[in-house]
Amino acid sequence: MGYRAAQETVSGNNNVAIGTEALFNNTTASNNTAVGYQAAYSNTTGTRGTFVGMGAGYTNSTASYNTAVGWYALRLNTTGNLNTVMGDGTLQTNTTGSQNTGIGQSALNNNTTGNFNTALGRQAGYSNTTGAGSVFVGRLAGYSSNATGDVRNTFIGHLSGYASTGTANTFIGAGPNGGSGETMTTGSKNTIVGAYNGNQGGLDIRTSSNNIVLSDGDGNPRVWVKNGYFKSSNSNSFNQSIYNRHEINQSASGEDTLVIVSSATTAPYGAWIRFSGGSPNDTLRYFLNCQDSTTNRLFIYSNGNVVNSNNSYGAISDVKLKENIVDSGSQWDDIKALTVRKYSMKSDNLDAPNRLGVIAQEVEAAGMNGLVFESPDLDPETKEDLGTVTKQVNYSILYMKAVKALQEAMDRIETLEAKVTALENA
């Protein structure tokens, strides 16, 4: 229906042509629908196409299974198949690209041979030409994306990935300051969730690759993962000069920086610090370093040494927490019965002793079983009981016994001194 509509049709069946020169060159193709001035004008043998709008699918010749709705939608397509297009100028330069979906004014506008792309929103994926496998959802999402080959970008949100020309990026979100990854340029293989635009809150990754950023709705980066290293901040404070360590940054006054909670009702465990690849056993490498703005306050070194800045160690000792308080009995015999040894640890593999202390089994033999306790030996990975135990000595109690014995010795010395004085004065 219309001037020269389906004029060249020879044997095609089940075609609908409405509008001047709609399906003009159709010869043997069947099952096509063309509505609008020169819609599917050049189609010859392409089948099962639906073209609605002025010039929609104008140069489509042999391509099949295409749907184009809108002014010049899929206008230059020739042999690209299985495209679904809706919007003014959407995919209008596509020639041989197949299995693309474009919905929105000028979505995938410059796509020519790119396949398997999805664009939803005005000018979403606008600059893509030959790139394949990308998803652009939102107004101007992935506008500048023009990488070639198997691109596989996923940009979801208004202005998300707007300036990105990299590949394999995933940006999801939008906020008052723009879209997710909006200012990202050449970086690839990045993941951004939230409104962070690529250069906010003191974190600039616009040309960087292999980043993961989680941000809030205002675009403030809260979690940043680089090369597998986790960094978290509540104040947009990230150390970008050092990548190879995990960091948690806390700026709130009066709040704990880290709390580890085990809710297990049986067999709970706390933190485990382990050197799985080596045994430095020295005072250079440490398990724990406690430092303030002035100096180091506490080290736990890899050889087990605990060093602090004021040599002060204590225990909770307030009388309000204690009961059944009585004077200690004599510790003279216990201390006298101790055997003090020099020794080395088997794990140190030394040829001579380098330590001073007691042996747990000898402390037990001296009648001080209360100073010795034992722990089952467990597999460090599975926590399976290995069937053996390791004995430990409570040195802190031993030291208090020694203090009491020293007091007894002082009493004896003072008594002897008094007797000597009396004899001297006799």
Token pair belonging to 316 = 């909770």
Helix or strand run (H / E) with residue 372: strand 372-378
Which residues are bridge partners to 69 per DSSP?
52, 86
- The size of the chain, in residues, is 426
Helix or strand run (H / E) with residue 408: helix 395-425
Confidence at residue 6, expressed as pLDDT on a 0 to 100 scale: 66
Residue 158 contacts residue 179 (beta carbons within 8 Å): yes
What tens-digit pLDDT sequence spans the chain (426 residues)?
767 766 777 777 888 999 999 889 888 888 889 999 999 898 888 899 999 999 999 998 889 999 999 999 999 988 999 999 999 999 999 999 999 999 999 999 999 999 999 999 999 999 999 999 999 999 999 999 999 999 999 999 999 999 999 999 999 999 888 899 999 999 999 999 999 999 998 899 999 999 999 999 999 999 999 989 999 999 888 888 877 899 999 999 999 999 999 999 998 999 999 999 999 999 999 999 999 999 999 999 999 999 999 888 888 899 999 999 999 999 999 999 999 999 999 988 999 999 999 999 999 999 999 999 999 998 888 889 999 999 999 999 999 999 999 999 999 999 999 999 999 998
What whole-number distance in Å separates Cα of residue 62 and Cα of residue 26? 10
What whole-number distance in Å separates Cα of residue 345 and Cα of residue 332? 29
Token pair belonging to 338 = 């101790």
Residues whose CB falls within 8 Å of the CB of residue 20, separated by 6 or more in sequence, listed in order:
2, 3, 4, 5, 37, 38
Taking every pair of C-alpha atoms in the chain, what is the biggest distance, in angstroms? 148
List the domains of the chain with CATH numbers.
280-312 (no CATH), 328-425 (1.10.10.10)
Angle at 139 (CA atoms; ends 135, 143), nearest 5 degrees: 65
How many CB atoms within 10 Å of residue 166?
23
What whole-number distance in Å separates Cα of residue 61 and Cα of residue 67? 14
Kind of pairing, strands 306-308 and 341-343? unpaired
What whole-number distance in Å separates Cα of residue 250 and Cα of residue 69? 54
Q: In this structure, what DSSP letter does residue 150 have?
A: B
What whole-number distance in Å separates Cα of residue 182 and Cα of residue 159? 6
